[in-house]
Amino acid sequence: MSSVIYPTTNFTATEQLCITHGDGIHVYDSDGKEYIEGLAGLWCTSLGYSNSEVVEAITDQLNRLPFQHTFGGKTHEPVMQLADKLKAMVPVEDAYFFFGNSGSDANDSHYKMLKYYFNAIGKPEKRKIITRERGYHGVTVAAGALTSLPANLAHFDAPLEALSILRTDAPHYYSGRKGNETEAQFVDRILTSLEDQILAEDPATIAAMIVEPITGASGVIVPPEGYYEGLQALLRKHDILVWADEVICGFGRTGADFGSTTMGIKPDLMTFAKQLSSAYFPISAAVIPGWMYDAMVAQTNEVGVFGHGYTYSGHPAACAAALKTLEIYERDGIFAHAADVGAYMQARLREMFDDHPMVGEVRGKGLIAALELVSNKTTGAIIPGGKGGAAAVEACQSEGLILRAVAGNALAFCPPLIITREEVDEMLRRAKAGVDAAYDRLKAEGLLDG
């Protein structure tokens, strides 16, 4: 075993699969076995594994200017071009962009900029951030505190109180409903609970609420109809900013430019990473409105600098990768393709798995989806210890399909946006064989009730 500390890995189960190369939607291991990469790596390789145009853009930039920082008045053409390109795309008023290297650091940057902004306008008490149960927003200190998944919090002693983090209900009707509650009643209940919490905390102390339009690591939760309409009305009523974490949903994943478009969100702040560069080079963006930027100018002049930034903020090769990726999205109609093939994938998933005895719910939008694996289809009883998701992932991998179990027993799908209908059929054929094999195994082990 090598001396690598592997992220999000059981240290007793490292180095089980070594990937050596990729082509299109496929990757290959050190034994030469081919797999469909059904999660686009980590929700990110939108253009697949062999886009020569993006590689050439990175290489050309490395040959021309391999590095240039953006501190203290220094800049370069790619970072300015990328900001201009994104400004024309995003639904944020007169947007400004802080570039980093990951979704985690982008959310940390937002956390700090919110503090900076409210100090600038004389409201230092407006410091609390609302996040949701089962939310995932990264793993750095502030972003990790905004994350609500048990594995990301256990043993790390996240400073929730010190960072003024509040939590509210996850908008997952399937797992959160009470009795015979309808979706509308469920939405009314959790939004009423949120408003009660806001009033108890005092709205004047709450800066923003962060939401993933459709969640990823918490199980691909698609909130019910009416949820975001009601949520935004509530937040606007109490002067709380709407912060959309688009790290997974952004740039075509849901079949539109942004998850906010798909779900009817009008964000004040946005967070990008992953598909911004098809993951060919690390880059992220924290997006703020012009009125927020303008309010911060005087403070930077008073101090002498805006005292936040990374060595690699706006790295020229990362910006070149993002610019070429955005060009390909537009030129090749990738978002429209994702909408078409995504609708096909959603329909096929429901045809194949709605009646499966181990699948309680099929959910998703565009080219992101999940199967909720359950012990009993009628009651929705969970499979203990996440063993359903683990068994399904293992069985699918044996069939030549790489997927990921999230939130315990949700089997997630998130293929590259370039996937075709024929490739969707093959991906789901392998998934069906894997889920069937996992069902037989878990049934034999006595872990299923149905």
Q: Which of 311, 331, 351 is at the close of a domain?
A: 331
Q: What is the pLDDT of residue 1?
A: 84
User: Does the residue 28 lie in any domain?
Assistant: no
pTM for the predicted model, two decimal places: 0.96
For residue 254, name the pLDDT band (cuts at 50, 70, 90). Answer: very high
Average pLDDT over residues 131-148: 96
In sequence order, the β-bridge partners of residue 410 are: 372, 406
Give yes or no: residues 248 and 283 share one domain. yes
According to DSSP, residue 383 is labeled: P
Give yes or no: residues 67 and 178 share one domain. yes
Give yes or no: residues 257 and 346 share one domain. no
Give yes or no: residues 350 and 279 share one domain. no
Give yes or no: residues 266 and 297 share one domain. yes
For residue 97, name the pLDDT band (cuts at 50, 70, 90). Answer: very high
User: Does the residue 62 lie in any domain?
Assistant: yes
**pLDDT(450) > 80:** no
- Strand ranges of the sheet holding 128-132, from the earlier edge strand across to the other edge: 96-100, 284-288, 269-272, 241-245, 206-211, 128-132, 165-168
For residue 288, name the pLDDT band (cuts at 50, 70, 90). Answer: very high
CATH number at residue 256: 3.40.640.10
Give yes or no: residues 389 and 439 share one domain. yes
Give yes or no: residues 78 and 201 share one domain. yes
Give yes or no: residues 318 and 404 share one domain. no
The amino acid at 276: L
Give yes or no: residues 288 and 402 share one domain. no
105 within 8 A of 314, measured Cβ to Cβ: no
CA angle 443, 426, 351 (to 5 degrees): 60
How many percent of the chain have pLDDT more than 70?
100
Q: What is the pLDDT of residue 95?
A: 98
Domain of residue 347 covers: 333-444
Locus of tokens 């049934």: 443
Please give the tally of structural domains in the chain.
Answer: 2
The rounded distance, in Å, linking the Cα atoms of 439 and 346 is 22
Give yes or no: residues 320 and 292 share one domain. yes
Give yes or no: residues 397 and 273 share one domain. no
Chain segment 391-411, per-residue pLDDT in tens: 999 999 999 999 999 998 999
295 within 8 A of 94, measured Cβ to Cβ: no
Give yes or no: residues 368 and 251 share one domain. no
| Token couple for 157 | 């002693």
Q: Which of 275, 303, 331 is at the close of a domain?
A: 331
**pLDDT(214) > 90:** yes
Chain segment 222-232, per-residue pLDDT in tens: 999 999 999 99
Q: Which of 277, 303, 331 is at the close of a domain?
A: 331
The rounded distance, in Å, linking the Cα atoms of 277 and 325 is 6
288 Ramachandran zone, left/alpha/beta (phi>0; psi -120 to 50): beta
Environment class of 396 (CB within 10 Å of its CB; exposed 0-12, middle 13-18, buried 19+): buried
